[in-house]
């Protein structure tokens, strides 16, 4: 087929679309434009189906590129792309109704909810086939939301298992770890797949059940560190359960009573170890970690022990995870540190509280801008760090506010390295009155 026929068809389509905007249907100019289109459509399907494609702003008839300076070509390419149409195929039996309907639908304002193929079908234009662009970003966002829901469900199940476990110990003194091990394995599997998503979970918190959230978040941070250290899976699951139960001794105290809470502070390691000594399992790691997680490498901390006592490496790892979660969680008596401030504090703590080598490793795994940091970018937009990026200074950011400070309805993710925007500063979530975990 000659280019002429295709170009006439494009010109007629574009003119008819313009006429739809300018004139009422009874207007002679509108009727003239439609008549031209109908004859152009008839001519182009004489030899069989006619397909018009658009790719990167250029129109193609089949695989042949059409001159972009032809009348209407530029406008049509733009209109098709705006409607996410990749190709239009007109069948030989295309009718006047089909042609008019195509023009009417392409004259509609493009929107996320307008699907050209569905709209044509709804209006009975049966001899036109549309191929739509697949919006990769939308597909990715959908998948991300699905996984996020799954991850949150896992977190909630763990909360409920811990709730039951706590109540059981308070009632009978017997620990029953039950389902917890299996859920820890589930979280571990997700961590291997997408560590950033699991780190995002650890930003969750609640004033009411702060101890339960603290246990799970400490577990997540301990697993991140254990994974960075290269501990094999079996060891990680033991580390995870131990981290989850590190503060279990607190269940023996009424934490709403200030006197008991103060006692719990120093006694919970011993009480916890005592409770966990009743576990039927062979693995003694949870007991050791509960007992040792407040012992500093330099002999400080508690409970007291003889000189030369060496703590289990898992206890030292849980101590770091525990500290990081406490630093980044707001307490009734004070503000939370932002993740970057907490990282600096951890490094300071290596002087007397924490294992130096393991802390450095943990800090390395969190990165310069840890997941959960709210950042202002060079184009003035604001978002939350949701994963590491191409390099330490360019993490992946989920935008929350655009460059004019307007909250985005559907969050967009940005590889800051790819779009060459930098981070200007870290913003305190309190100053924006946002809850970070809502955005991760």
Nearer to Fe ion, 255 or 408 (CB): 255
Q: Which residues contact 230 (CB under 8 A, 6 or more apart)?
A: none
b/e code 184-197 from CB counts within 10 Å (16+ = b): bebbbebbeeebbb
Distance CA 45, CA 6 (A): 10
177-196 positions binding Fe ion, by CB under 5 A: none
Nearer to Fe ion, 329 or 365 (CB): 329
Instruction: Using DSSP bridges, classify how beta strands 64-65 and 382-391 pair: parallel, antiparallel or unpaired.
Output: unpaired
Does position 292 interact with Fe ion (CB under 5 A)? The reply is no
What does 364-433 look like in DSSP terms, one character per residue?
A: HHH-SS-TT-EEEETTS-EEEEEEEEEETTEEEEEEEE-TTSPBPSS--EEETTTTT--EEEEE-HHHHT
User: Per CB under 5 A, which region of 30-38, 61-69, 96-104, 316-324 contacts Fe ion?
Assistant: 316-324
Asked whether 416 and 394 are in contact (CB, 8 A), the reply is yes
Among 187, 181, 179, smallest CA distance to 241 is for: 181
Does position 247 interact with Fe ion (CB under 5 A)? The reply is yes
Nearer to Fe ion, 151 or 247 (CB): 247
Q: Residue 198 Cβ, how far from Fe ion at the closest point, in Å?
A: 19
Nearer to Fe ion, 50 or 213 (CB): 213
User: Per CB under 5 A, which region of 186-194, 223-231, 236-244, 247-255 contacts Fe ion?
Assistant: 247-255
Size of the site for Fe ion (CB under 5 A): 2
Does position 322 interact with Fe ion (CB under 5 A)? The reply is yes
- Which residue has its beta carbon closest to Fe ion? 322
Distance CA 398, CA 365 (A): 20
Nearer to Fe ion, 291 or 369 (CB): 291
Q: Residue 246 Cβ, how far from Fe ion at the closest point, in Å?
A: 6
User: Per CB under 5 A, which region of 33-41, 100-108, 315-323, 390-398 contacts Fe ion?
Assistant: 315-323
Q: Which residues contact 129 (CB under 8 A, 6 or more apart)?
A: 88, 89, 91, 117
R_g over Cα of the chain: 31
Does position 151 interact with Fe ion (CB under 5 A)? The reply is no
User: Per CB under 5 A, which region of 14-22, 57-65, 129-137, 322-330 contacts Fe ion?
Assistant: 322-330
Nearer to Fe ion, 294 or 398 (CB): 294
Distance CA 258, CA 409 (A): 44
Q: Residue 210 Cβ, how far from Fe ion at the closest point, in Å?
A: 10
Nearer to Fe ion, 272 or 411 (CB): 272
User: Per CB under 5 A, which region of 162-170, 189-197, 244-252, 417-425 contacts Fe ion?
Assistant: 244-252
Query: Which residues of the shown chain bind Fe ion in the complex (CB under 5 A)?
Result: 247, 322
């Amino acid at each position: 087929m000659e280019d002429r026929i295709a170009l006439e068809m494009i010109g007629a389509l574009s003119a008819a679309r313009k006429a739809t905007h300018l004139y009422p249907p009874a207007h002679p100019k509108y009727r003239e434009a439609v008549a031209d289109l109908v004859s152009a459509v008839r001519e182009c399907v004489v030899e069989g189906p006619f397909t018009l494609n658009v790719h990167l702003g250029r129109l193609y008839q089949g695989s042949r590129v059409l001159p972009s300076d032809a009348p209407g070509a530029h406008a049509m390419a733009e209109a098709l792309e705006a409607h996410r149409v990749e190709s239009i195929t007109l069948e030989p039996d295309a009718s006047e109704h089909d042609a008019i309907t195509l023009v009417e639908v392409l004259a509609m304002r493009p929107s996320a909810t307008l699907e050209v193929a569905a709209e044509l079908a709804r209006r009975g234009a049966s001899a036109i086939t549309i191929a739509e662009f697949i919006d990769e970003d939308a597909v990715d966002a959908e998948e991300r939301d699905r996984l996020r829901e799954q991850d949150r469900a896992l977190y909630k199940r763990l909360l409920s298992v811990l709730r039951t476990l706590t109540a059981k110990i308070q009632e009978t003194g017997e620990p029953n770890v039950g389902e917890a091990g299996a859920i820890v394995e589930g979280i571990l599997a997700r961590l291997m797949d997408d560590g950033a998503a699991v780190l995002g979970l650890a930003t969750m918190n609640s004033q009411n059940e702060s101890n339960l959230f603290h246990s799970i978040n400490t577990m997540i941070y301990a697993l991140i560190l254990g994974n960075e250290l290269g501990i094999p899976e079996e060891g990680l699951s033991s580390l995870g359960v131990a981290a989850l139960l590190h503060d279990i001794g607190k269940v023996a105290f009424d934490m709403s009573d200030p006197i008991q809470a103060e006692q719990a502070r120093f006694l919970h390691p011993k009480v916890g170890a005592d409770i966990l000594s009743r576990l039927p399992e062979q693995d003694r790691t949870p007991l050791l970690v509960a007992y040792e997680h407040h012992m500093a490498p330099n002999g400080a901390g508690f409970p007291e022990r003889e000189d030369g006592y060496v703590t289990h490496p898992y206890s030292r790892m849980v101590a770091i995870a525990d500290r990081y979660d406490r630093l980044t969680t707001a307490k009734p008596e004070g503000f939370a540190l932002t993740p970057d401030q907490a990282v600096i504090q951890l490094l300071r703590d290596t002087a007397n509280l924490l294992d130096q080598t393991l802390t450095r490793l943990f800090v390395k795994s969190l990165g310069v801008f840890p997941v959960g940091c709210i950042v202002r970018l060079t184009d003035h937009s604001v978002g939350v760090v949701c994963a590491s990026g191409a390099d330490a200074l360019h993490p992946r950011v989920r935008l929350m506010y655009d460059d004019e400070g307007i909250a985005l309805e559907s969050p967009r993710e940005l590889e800051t390295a790819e779009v060459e925007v930098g981070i200007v500063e870290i913003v305190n979530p309190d100053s924006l009155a946002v809850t970070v975990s809502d955005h991760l």
